[in-house]
Structure 1
């Protein structure tokens, strides 16, 4: 038996598309930037914050429908997920590698 709440996946995908379109820098994460709920989200937040631009976030723990749907939509199985200018940058490992090389700063600086 499946006790998960029912939701309309097409509607959730439209919500995700709108969130990505409305925010030039968007981090889907567990928790919030001030209170991340996993180490991967904490690392991603610290790297994005270090770039010095404000960013939006979605706490997937408060949105189980997005948590269930985004991996299929993005073809990326894990969280966090960082989007800049509508494009998936990647998860924690990629974010950290890009941060260490300076590439993340360049990508963030290009955010509209």
Structure 2
């Protein structure tokens, strides 16, 4: 079944080490989604009920992975709402699925709200 809307996954991201910093090509560490803690597929613009997990000691931070069937605008925060995405005032991000999956570090308890662009 093809994705319609947005699919998100929350989990712990581990910063993959590449030596002590950038490698010979100038590329630094990569964020890798580890254990998944929550996921949600949303067919229409809305705020997610799924939330980021609490931080864990060590090199693990809450992370979100985003897939969408079409370009979207989105807001991530403690209580992200659809109104924030569409109010024209709140800073929002843009995602185009032609770029592939979007992975981002987030804060404990964050959720996402989105609308088609």
- Establish whether TM, by shorter chain, passes 0.5: no
The structure that is helix-richer by fraction is 1
TM-score category of the 2 structures, normalised to the smaller one:
under 0.3
Q: Greater CA radius of gyration, 1 or 2? A: 2
With the length of structure 1 as denominator, give the TM-score of the two structures: 0.24
TM-score (norm: length of structure 2): 0.23
Could you say which structure has the higher strand fraction? 2
